[in-house]
Amino acid sequence: MSDPAISLCTYTYNDAAFARGLVESVKEWTLRPDELVIVDDGSIPPFEAQGLPASARIIRLEPNRGITRAKRSGLCAARGEYIMSMDCDTRVAPDWLELNLAHVQRPGIGLVGGALLYASGRDLVSRYLSRFGDNHNLRHVGEVDFIPGNAFLLRRAVWEEIGGFGGYRETNCQDHALCRRMTGFGYKLFSNARARAWQLRRIPRTTLCKRVWKWCHKAVKADMPGGGRLVPYLFEVLARPMISRFEDAVDLGEPLFIYVELLYLAHTVLDCLDHGLARGLATAGVRDGFCARVQGVFSASPRLWAVFLADLARIGRAWPESLEPDTGPWEDFFMFEPLLRDSGLLAWLDCEGARQLLVEDGRADYHFSSYAQATFEVD
């Protein structure tokens, strides 16, 4: 039997409903793959073959070790001349594969993708990500610097030539590693905005904080200075981008985005300070100083503070019971506090905002995400 012309690879870990939904959606495609490879990355219970098409193969990996190993296994096992990789929580327009197949056949093109939009619903995190993240190449047709890993197409010969992900072993950002290897071997990345894709997974705000920080914490920590340069450095890499998003949140009429930003800021700064403490770059007094200044921001917002502490606890950050703060280094860092207080944003968040957050929590309609168990150690 000859090899299939096109293979579709997808990956599942404790989210079988997404994988089965993807398989079902293929029936509507204008061009369908000849082979379906499903990598079950240690799901409990294992992903079952029942109801799958005859062209499907399941590759079972144990134990779960993350999406990079799962994608490497699936892409290496695919037999098609062309391989389409899709995360199981992604859906594409019916003509996605047909539109992109012509591009991947062009000489010099190594990786092809399309427009990607976060479109999982109208909950807070979905609205936030639709505005601030997980949206790529929405209007671009032509060469790009990055193709997201949610859905891409490549030739099997190119994957084999570049050695796949190479020695990359991190459990996230393997799409960045693949793009770097492609361009390093002289191949171009092509995005076709006419080919549309959507990411569907709904996650709570606490998982969002862990997910985004998992992508970038090692790079931030690698450049961390000690002593008097530490707090200004954390301001530049963590607080300054947040302040610009405050303005966007107000313009969009989305004040709850500000709460998400404050939660992410506290989580990331505390993680950096813990890292700094372990390596002699920070002192306990400086860490307590940050905690004291955060408490000061919420001093007139008891309801919001209670939600904030509960969220930090879910992230895995217990708040200290007593503080011996050195707040001096942090005064300029919290330059945004008067804006939040004087504009009435904190007052709104303490009343209506806290109520909306608790109402959303009560719905409990979020999907499973491996990022909920993310840790942030650095070797």
Cα dihedral 352→353→354→355 (10° resolution)? 50
User: What are the pLDDT tens digits along the chain (379 aa)?
Assistant: 466 799 999 999 999 999 999 999 999 999 999 999 999 999 999 999 999 999 999 999 999 999 999 999 999 999 999 999 999 999 999 999 999 999 999 999 999 999 999 988 899 999 999 999 878 999 999 999 999 999 999 999 999 999 999 999 999 999 999 999 999 999 999 999 999 999 999 999 999 999 999 999 999 999 999 999 999 999 999 999 999 899 899 999 999 999 999 999 999 999 999 999 999 999 999 999 999 999 999 999 999 999 999 999 999 999 998 888 888 899 899 999 999 999 999 999 999 999 999 999 998 789 999 999 999 999 7
Coil/strand/helix, residue 161 = helix
The pLDDT score that the predictor gives to residue 128 is 95
pLDDT of residue 102: 93
CA nearest neighbour of 368 among 203, 167, 194, 181: 203
Q: What is the DSSP letter of 273?
A: H
Angle at 326 between CA 320 and CA 328, to 5 degrees: 135
For the chain, which domains are there?
6-199 (3.90.550.10), 205-373 (no CATH)
DSSP letter string, 118-141: E-S-SSHHHHHHHHHSS-B-SS-E
DSSP state of 164: T
CB-based contact 293:339 (threshold 8 Å): no
Predicted local confidence at residue 135, as pLDDT: 86
| Alpha carbon distance 110, 186 (integer Å) | 9
Q: Which pLDDT tens digit goes with each residue over 288-347?
A: 999 999 999 999 999 999 999 999 999 999 999 888 888 889 989 999 999 999 999 999
Q: Which residues, including other chains, have CB under 8 Å from residue 306's CB and lie 6 or more apart?
A: 354
What pTM, to 2 d.p., does this model score? 0.93
Six-digit token pair at 72?
A: 């490497």
Q: What is the pLDDT of residue 365?
A: 87
Predicted local confidence at residue 133, as pLDDT: 82
Q: What pLDDT does 1 receive?
A: 46
Look at residue 261 in the predicted model and tell me its pLDDT: 97
Cα-Cα-Cα-Cα torsion 329, 330, 336, 341, nearest 10 degrees, comes to -130
